[in-house]
Amino acid sequence: MDDKALQATLEQYVKLGRLDEAPDVIDARLHAAVEAAADSARLHPQDMGLGDWAKETIAKIKHAVHTEICDETKGKVNDKYLQLLDKGTSKDAISWMSSIITTSIVALHLAPLAVSAVVLYLAIWILKTGLNSWCSLPAGK
């Protein structure tokens, strides 16, 4: 994914007030973005509804990102990512998180889903949920 495209999309989301939306609204937008990207790339299996596939795929991506960012034994943010705690939903934090998410999506062999809408909505959702709060939950939640 092009970093300029990501930054342009982030600027658009800031103007649209997306950073002020509640996590459940962002999660719904994430779901729609995954469905659109999957449909465009023809990724979803034919025997499974796109909505169900998208839900399961988002859970896999969230699990992979959670495993990377969180220290599951301690139920908190991995020391390597502590600097993200003070950044809130700043552009800097969203950019950092977007990089981690893109790497996780590619590692899951879902590269066509590494589009700016998917990556940014997931980054915003994680940051709006709160890293420590999210890391205290089991992976995939």
Residue with the larger pLDDT of the pair 117 and 6: 117
Domain assignments of the chain as residue spans, ordered by start? 3-136
| pLDDT at residue 40 in the model | 85
| pLDDT at residue 50 in the model | 64
Across 23-27, 31-35, 50-54, 94-98, least confident range: 50-54
Reported in sequence order, the residue ranges of the chain that DSSP labels E, i.e. its strands, are 70-71, 76-77
What percent of the residues of the chain are helix, what percent strand, and what percent coil, each to the nearest 5?
A: 75, 5, 25
* Among 134, 138, 135, CA closest to 27: 134
Q: Mean pLDDT score of the chain, rounded to an integer?
A: 88
Both tokens of 50, joined, read: 């796109």
Residue 43 has pLDDT above 90, yes or no: no
Q: How far apart are the first and last CA of the chain?
A: 26
45-99 pLDDT, tens digit each: 665 666 688 889 999 999 999 999 999 889 999 999 988 888 888 888 999 999 9
CB atoms near residue 26 (< 10 Å): 23
- Assign 2 a pLDDT band (cuts: 50, 70, 90): low
- Assign 38 a pLDDT band (cuts: 50, 70, 90): confident
| pLDDT at residue 123 in the model | 95
HSE-up of residue 103 (Cα within 13 Å, Cβ side): 11
